[in-house]
Amino acid sequence: MHTGVIYALAAAILFGASTPFAKVLVGQMPPVALAGLLYLGSGIGLAICYAVRAVLNREAQDKPSTLTARDLPWFAAAVAAGGVAGPVLLMLGLHSVSASSASLLLNMEGVLTALLAWFVFKENFDRRIFIGMLLIIAAGVLLSWDHTAAEGGPWGVVAIIGACLCWGIDNNLTRKVSASDPLQIACIKGLAAGSVNLAIGLALGGDLPETRTVLLAGVVGFCGYGLSLVLFVLALRHLGTARTGAYFSMAPFAGAALSLLMLGEAPDLVFWIAAALMAGGIWLHLTESHAHEHEHLPMAHAHMHSHDAHHQHTHDFDWDGTEPHAHPHQHARLRHSHAHYPDIHHRHEH
């Protein structure tokens, strides 16, 4: 299995599993404050990982590439959309939507991510990918219609779909900086978004719950938002935005399954029909193959890499032969044909 697919599926499972835990916590504190604690848990946990890695790698020859000044506008906008607005909308939606239904509705993140990638950021797609997305959209509409009729109003569903839109914007903007250190990206996003959301929540009159609940929220945030985001950024680097979003659509199934086990929710027939439609859409993405002759234009960047067909360069420093490694490197013009994804080396036109 492609490395990027493994990263995306692992990110999906971690994020999907966080939804039922957030549903348990959402009644114990205001939604904005909870969103702040989840992201602060993510940021603090990743900051500890970042510090430990720095100590362990202080003698290492190669260092992960860091964010540059050119990356900051993209990254700041990503934090605002996905780190501040998205979690708040999700917590608001969880007030009136069951955890299993909310988990399936989160599939709309992959759809909205792909639509933005295709029509705004001009990432390539084919008929198979498009049909898969139509199946996921149909499942989301079916689930939303059933939920609105059953629970008397659309606002919880609208809030969750709004969160998915925010994360779709975030995903496309984060792709712009995905060659940089994913641990640094996720850590900064967690600390910044968590601080802003928690400050807003407390300013609106919210109170922090007991210490045990705060710690649980921090752990859920570290796993479901922090580690998941690190893996998601790595997947973006390998797969591109739309395909990473499609694989990430596995997240709602993980969340829905855990919701049924944890919370004793009983799924109805509409739930299973929606799940089948979503599974069909994801299968079409998982079985995609994209190959043609293409040209790589000269470019320079820095990221973790091995000396494969796309990295045939010399080093201007003493290299001990360790791979993968990271350093600034130059890509020469190259034309060849092979199966590929729209990763950081395949952003060509079709």
Q: What is the pLDDT of residues 113-123, one digit of tens each?
A: 888 988 888 88
**Residue numbers of the domain that contains 159:** 3-56+68-293
* Pick from 40-44, 122-126, 127-131, 302-306: least confident: 302-306
Cα separation, 310 vs 292, in Å, equals 16
Instruction: Give me the percent of the chain exceeding a pLDDT of 90.
Output: 20
Residue 305 β-bridge partners: 325
Q: Which structure tokens are listed for 239?
A: 């797969």
Statement: residue 223 has pLDDT above 70 = yes
Asked whether the predicted pLDDT for residue 264 surpasses 80, the reply is: no
Q: Is the pLDDT of residue 149 over 60?
A: no
- Residue 146 clears pLDDT 60, i.e. is over it: no
Structure tokens given for 341:
């994804």
Task: Say if 318 falls within a structural domain.
Answer: no
Give the CA angle between residues 324, 325, 326 to the nearest 5°.
Answer: 140
Between residues 312 and 227, the one the model is more confident about:
227
Q: Are 24 and 200 in contact (CB under 8 A)?
A: no
Bigger pLDDT: 58 vs 168: 168
Mean pLDDT of 256-270: 72
The verdict on residue 239 lying in a domain is: yes
Portion of the chain with pLDDT greater than 70, in percent: 85
Report yes or no: 154 and 148 within 8 Å, Cβ to Cβ. Answer: yes
Residue 150 lies in a domain: yes
The answer to whether 224 and 45 are in contact (CB under 8 A) is: no
33 belongs to a structural domain: yes
In a domain, 340, yes or no: no
For the range 22-25, what are the long-range contacts, defined as Cβ-Cβ under 8 Å and sequence gap of 24 or more? 22/90, 22/91, 22/94, 22/220, 22/224, 23/94, 23/98, 23/99, 23/102, 23/259, 23/263, 24/262, 24/263, 25/213, 25/216, 25/217, 25/220
Mean pLDDT of the chain: 81
Residue 23 lies in a domain: yes
pLDDT tier at 152 (50, 70, 90 boundaries)?
very low
* Lookup: tokens for 59: 């003698």
- The answer as to whether 101 is a domain residue is yes
Number of domains the chain is built from: 1
Q: CB under 8 Å to 322, separation ≥6 — which residues?
A: 61, 62
Give yes or no for residue 169 having a pLDDT over 90.
Answer: yes
Q: What is the pLDDT of residues 42-62, one digit of tens each?
A: 999 999 999 998 888 776 656
The SS3 call for residue 291 is strand
Read off the pLDDT of each residue in 299-326 and give the average, rounded to a whole number. Answer: 74
Asked if pLDDT for residue 199 goes beyond 70, the answer is yes
pLDDT tens profile 69-113: 888 999 999 999 988 888 888 888 887 777 667 766 777 887 888
Q: What is the pLDDT of residue 311?
A: 81
Q: Which residues contact 63 (CB under 8 A, 6 or more apart)?
A: 57, 326
Confidence band, pLDDT 50/70/90 cuts, at residue 209: confident
Residue 310 lies in a domain: no
**Mean pLDDT calculated for residue range 270-288:** 81
Q: How confident is the model at residue 215 (pLDDT cuts 50, 70, 90)?
A: very high
